[in-house]
Amino acid sequence: MKDVQGELDRRNIPLKHVGIKDLRWPIALKDKEKGTQHTVATVSLAVDLPHDLRGTHMSRFVECLQTLGPVTLGSLENILDHLKERLQAEKAFLQLKFPYFIYKTAPVSGQRAPMDIDCVYTAEKEERFSLRISAEIPIQTLCPCSKEISAYGAHNQRALAKLEIRSGEMVWLEELAIIADAGASAPVYGLLKRPDEKFVTEQAYDNPRFVEDAVREIALRLEGDKRIIWYKATVESIESIHNHNAFACVEKGWKEVEI
């Protein structure tokens, strides 16, 4: 059959990231506690398209996932290599967005329950392989200003700590969650009994933090981890008494590294 995608294009415009997105696919991940965790990722796959090629073969993206077996963190570079070969591309891109479950123990009752965090693996390869990992962890913040000016009480709310890293060694998603909790006024849990609620509420009141405080505490811990070469941390507070959210962000300079 005629290869229409392979036709010559004379408009002389190279394209970046031609491919497919929003494909749901099963993946297997390393779980620090249980060994392996199975989840479902929303996948984007793409290649750079030369200026003289009309299109790419979209079906080959799915074929690459299908033929290489289970998608894992360790298989990402192989997938990119396969994409480059099958699609005759110089550079390939892959992104996996997925929920990951961590287990947290309530501080008083000891009740243990899973809590999901939203994670993203973003990988590219031209000559070298690069990988960026991000995790978005719910935390709690309590406003120091509100506590200072109020006769009693203070406004507090759930916040989201998003940690993005490049590393030279394995960094567990569970470790990123621990770092996020350390920057918070108090952690968020999947299950709390009344004694736990009392403990967490009082913990937050005794540890008031602006988003600026929280993101700086997170940055100190990321900076101190020698495995981490680059990071970007953002804390966004889902404000309870304002009609807007508050956020703060910090980023460390990075360079491409071979993983």
Averaged pLDDT, 129-157: 96
Contact 16, 124 (CB under 8 A): no
What count of Cα atoms within 13 Å lies in the side-chain half-sphere of residue 223?
A: 10
Question: What is the pTM for the complete model shown?
Answer: 0.88
Assign domain 1-105 one CATH number from 2.120.10.30, 3.10.270.10, 3.40.50.970, 3.40.50.720: 3.10.270.10
Q: Tell me the pLDDT tens digit for each residue of 71-110.
A: 888 899 999 999 988 888 889 999 999 999 999 999 999 9
Confidence band, pLDDT 50/70/90 cuts, at residue 259:
very low
Name the residue ranges covered by the structural domains of the chain. 1-105, 134-259
Averaged pLDDT, 109-114: 97
3-class secondary structure, 127: coil
CA distance 90 to 84: 6
Averaged pLDDT, 227-244: 96
168-181 in b/e form (b: 16+ CB < 10 A) is eeebebbbbbebbb
Overall fold of domain 134-259:
Urate Oxidase (3.10.270)
CA distance 235 to 184: 9
Same fold, 1-105 and 134-259: yes
Note the pLDDT of residue 86.
87
Nearest C-alpha neighbor of 116 from the set 94, 137, 87, 143 = 137
The two tokens of residue 258 are 């071979």
